[in-house]
Structure 1
């Protein structure tokens, strides 16, 4: 590992502000040919101590084929595969999910085209308004974290309020809109399978509006000249219900499993699904959200990932949510207390991305 040097008199707040106001992003830094990364991106030794995958190269997240999902003979087996993956891994990858391969490829290319534009062209979208609209920025938690990570993101809230078409960058507008529509269809199938895996009616999670709040994020992880000093994204769990992830063929995503970091190797045509904190809570702990991270990219080609975060849109009339009553009994008491939407939102925006901090807040101590 390269030596970590900290400059005396270093003013981190000033350096962060200067980087942010330059609107150049890490893609701009990478394209400029820098040989060393700015100090704001250097992570502490405890974060950098295990930047490797497990020695077991045959282990990976479950791969689940949905081609026979409508077949009465095959569906129970698929439900069981989804249930076991959600319980033990918190991650799985689906293939034969009904979205044409050409749509997947064109979506990845469109997001890549956006990030490959000159920073002067992209900079008109550069801002920090995380909770709504369309935003391009480097590190959405840049001002809330102690060390920045090596990625830029184009973010668009697609629902419950749909952005005006002209708000989306023209170079990837059509593909973003089409991807959102396709993700809704896939999410509804996945939610049905997850619902049935919990012993609920197939439409239960959809009925609760878990596909009606959506934010699309197109990440770019450009080449990093010192990948052993920083992260692509630090270890975290996702806050929402489920996340759908589409990625190009550049590796970097890792999932924690069995106390080790496991590489998630790209499968052409696959869509990765992972369980978020919200679904862990409402399933009363039956399904698990799991730590994952992205290593800083040492490849010449940028890693592109398109993430669709799906979450609850309609809260209960009393303004609260918590474990589903159908999943709570005297044999299986509630593991988590009910919480408000404001609690959930405040927890996310009050800090950098992290692991299960909200779950820890609402967990009932026994």
Structure 2
């Protein structure tokens, strides 16, 4: 059940250990009961709105038994919810406020455009921040390596070309056309990378650049491809453009057409019948009956607590916490775990869901697993089969 979350409502979890100490950094304080108070910020969309699930997420996380272990400092974690910033200016103001309020770390539950504004501001404020939805969100705002203060629960999207190539090769079509928007740099680049990976895997593939909003041109181009015998397509168009392509293709032939969506799929794309997509899943989702957001929040909070557990009285500051979070190698989740790269601040192994849109739902098919090698290359291997479906939220 979704509940109303009043703005800036504070939830407390008292995490008790053995003894307090006097050497506290400016970010933390010792309340009257002697416990070290550690303020944690939750950034989410819709804070204060009727439809938010943030209050349930926080209460679920705090009641899940997750706590630092092996530490001789008694912590009292105070979690406070803030509206995720809608612009870079809002992000700067928000993190300046978090600094002034002594916030020790942040978890960003926001997605897509709202998440994009967080990393730069968090890095500048030197507040350790874990991004929950982060495949396409960079955590290295000004450098090639990640910021010391930014962390992500998703592998970055560089795995997609190989994953798409493996998926395409398993769908039985030998001839493929990659659709890209010639007005969109990301679409062109991703389309070219996927075309290269698919060609290297032995598929007959070519890339077709389309003007993003010219439906007539799209329909004609798709018709020519189908006429030439191509029934496999990979779309790096917008979700709306991909849905239109699916509609055009279904009307052109009675044969089964395979249409893959190349980017991370938005939920509403499940309305485009027959579209197939790839999405990262959390290990926790495989084992516990919880939603994706709750699973990710639990994983992020556990990661944070694992880092917090290694701190001592003399290094209770955000820099030391960031270093401790980066050093966490494995996060136990349900019956599995999340393996983290200290250098990348991201997972080096993830399960992938293969989803197909059917009757307004995502139906999950046999998935893959991705593993990052020592040289940064991705290895994609078949995963276990899961048959589930979910309605649009």
TM-score (norm 2): 0.24
- Rg larger for: 2
The structure with higher relative contact order (CA 8 Å, sep 6+) is: 1
Structure showing the higher strand proportion among its residues? 2
TM-score (norm 1): 0.25
